[in-house]
Chain A
Amino acid sequence: MKRLFVSILVFASVAVSTASAQTSSDDPAALKLAEPDFTLIGLPTSLRLPKFGSSFRVTHRFTTPLNGDFGDLASDLFGLDSGAQIGLEYRFGIVPNGQIGIHRTSNKTIEFFGQYAAIRQSAGHPVDVSGIVTVEGTNNFKDSYSPALGAIVSREIGDVAALYVEPIWVNNTNPLPKQVVDKNNTFIVGLGARVRVRPTVYISGEAAPRTGFKPGVTHGSFAIEKRAGGHLFQLNFSNAFGTTLAQIARGGPVENDWYLGFNISRKFY
């Protein structure tokens, strides 16, 4: 896990220090080769959604850990025959540079989110900066509400890569009432990168080191992706099942357990 953090940090440092500023297209509907989707694996990206455009995403995180006996894993098709945490997401461009959306996971958590791209990477601005706010509630948004507030700072490096640093504060991450706990909030710094290794193939990785209430193991994930028109197909490996910000803040269940998963997204614009 630490190795993953260090790798991402080193890669980010080198890339940011050597790359020249990239002027992005003004058309949010134009394909951004280095940033093809609205999420990395679980963390958001700063990709803009055109006004009245939309996007759909389905996430799967199979719950069988991959570090068992190979024969047993193969007989279970590496977790595909077992249960999964499934997420469905829809986002909509409500104003120029602004989007709202909903994400529901199969453990009955519903997350509403809004994102606004305030600064665009250009000759005068070395990075993209977006603000993001989410509110999620368990039991179909009836219990345990966890709002989150953060920023997405990203930098594209040509058409080859995009790097992300995402400081995010998540309130009420502890499932117990605040009267009986010492820590009820989590501050995460999402770190991520996506690299285009072939014209339509990407590898990506992310981690979410955190402070405050931090049960379990810190979220980490890596993936390989294939872009096909408006679709992005992603096969990922994660140590946690989280796809909402509070779930990511709460981390994964057991150290050194990794799980197979996939994301499929589709843009409608």
Chain B
Amino acid sequence: MKTRWLPVVALVCACGAWSGCDEKLSSLAGPTPSLEPTFASIQHDIFESTDSAGRTACTQCHTNVGRNPSGGLNLVHDLAYDQIVNVTSARKPGATRIIPGDPDNSYLIQKLEGKAGIVGNRMPNNGPPYLTDGQTLILRRWVAIGAPRN
């Protein structure tokens, strides 16, 4: 290799050293800094936990522990996935709670975002606070990549 190419190689190495220095997901996740677009994380940080902004855990109402699950939706551990993915809504005929790959038409997303056409209130029912835009974006991403059971 001719020495005149050494600076070019150095430039390539410098670029490689910086690639991958991406934004932190925690900056998007806000009051749930460990939230990731995986079902396990969503289950833990969204469904089962009240976050630091005061948004209440979904399982305060959507549980079969000591009550009937609100809206017929049970989000307790080990049951939640089979309650939402490719499952029709109990309240809105024809709507599917989570359609893998299609966050816009997933009824659970619409309920959390308070979209027009939902039946009942935006979730959580005692909001605000609701999910932040960043939290919703992470939830949407999990749906967009196929809503895997991961």
Interface presence of B137 (CB below 8 A): yes
Given contacts A145-B18, A179-B36, A180-B37, contact A132 B11 (CB under 8 A): yes
Interface presence of A133 (CB below 8 A): yes
A118 to B12, CA, bound (A): 13
Across the interface, do B15 and A177 meet the contact criterion of CB distance under 8 Å?
Answer: no
Chain A nearest CB from B76 CB (Å) reads 26
Interface presence of B4 (CB below 8 A): yes
Q: Of the candidates B11, B16, B36, which one forms a contact with A114 in the assembled complex, judged by CB atoms under 8 Å apart?
A: B11
What are the interface flags for B55-70 relative to A under an 8 Å C-beta threshold, 1 for contact and 0 otherwise? Answer: 0000000000000000
Interface stretch among A73-81, A168-176, A248-256? A168-176
Across the interface, do A176 and B28 meet the contact criterion of CB distance under 8 Å?
Answer: yes
Across the interface, do A135 and B137 meet the contact criterion of CB distance under 8 Å?
Answer: no
CB-CB < 8 A to A177: which residues of B?
Answer: 22-25, 27-28
Q: In terms of DSSP, what is the predominant structure of the interface of chain B?
A: helix
Given contacts A177-B28, A179-B36, A179-B37, contact A131 B22 (CB under 8 A): no
CB-CB < 8 A to B8: which residues of A?
Answer: 116, 118, 131
Interface presence of A30 (CB below 8 A): no
Chain A nearest CB from B81 CB (Å) reads 20
Given contacts A176-B23, A177-B23, contact A149 B11 (CB under 8 A): yes
Interface presence of B94 (CB below 8 A): no
Interface presence of A261 (CB below 8 A): no
Closest A residue to B21 by beta carbon equals: A145
Closest B residue to A132 by beta carbon equals: B11
Across the interface, do A116 and B12 meet the contact criterion of CB distance under 8 Å?
Answer: no
Chain A nearest CB from B10 CB (Å) reads 8
A230 to B30, CA, bound (A): 50
For chain B, the bracket of interface size reads 20 to 34
CB-CB < 8 A to B5: which residues of A?
Answer: 118
Q: In terms of DSSP, what is the predominant structure of the interface of chain A?
A: strand
A96 to B23, CA, bound (A): 36
Interface presence of B141 (CB below 8 A): yes
What are the interface flags for B19-47 relative to A under an 8 Å C-beta threshold, 1 for contact and 0 otherwise? Answer: 11111110110000000110000000000
A98 to B3, CA, bound (A): 13
For chain A, the bracket of interface size reads 20 to 34
Chain B nearest CB from A27 CB (Å) reads 18
A94 to B141, CA, bound (A): 45
Would you list which residues of chain A between 76 and 117 have a CB under 8 Å from chain B?
95, 97-98, 114-116
Interface presence of B14 (CB below 8 A): yes
Given A177-B24, A177-B28, 5 other A-B residues pairs in contact with their CB atoms under 8 A: A133-B14, A147-B14, A149-B11, A177-B23, A178-B23
Contacts A/B (CB < 8 Å), 14 sampled:
A116-B8, A118-B7, A118-B8, A135-B14, A135-B18, A143-B27, A145-B22, A147-B18, A149-B15, A171-B19, A180-B25, A180-B28, A180-B138, A180-B141
Q: Chain B residues in contact with chain A, CB under 8 A?
A: 4-5, 7-8, 11-12, 14-25, 27-28, 36-37, 137-138, 140-141
Q: Chain A residues in contact with chain B, CB under 8 A?
A: 95, 97-98, 114-116, 118, 131-133, 135, 143-145, 147-149, 171-172, 175-181, 184
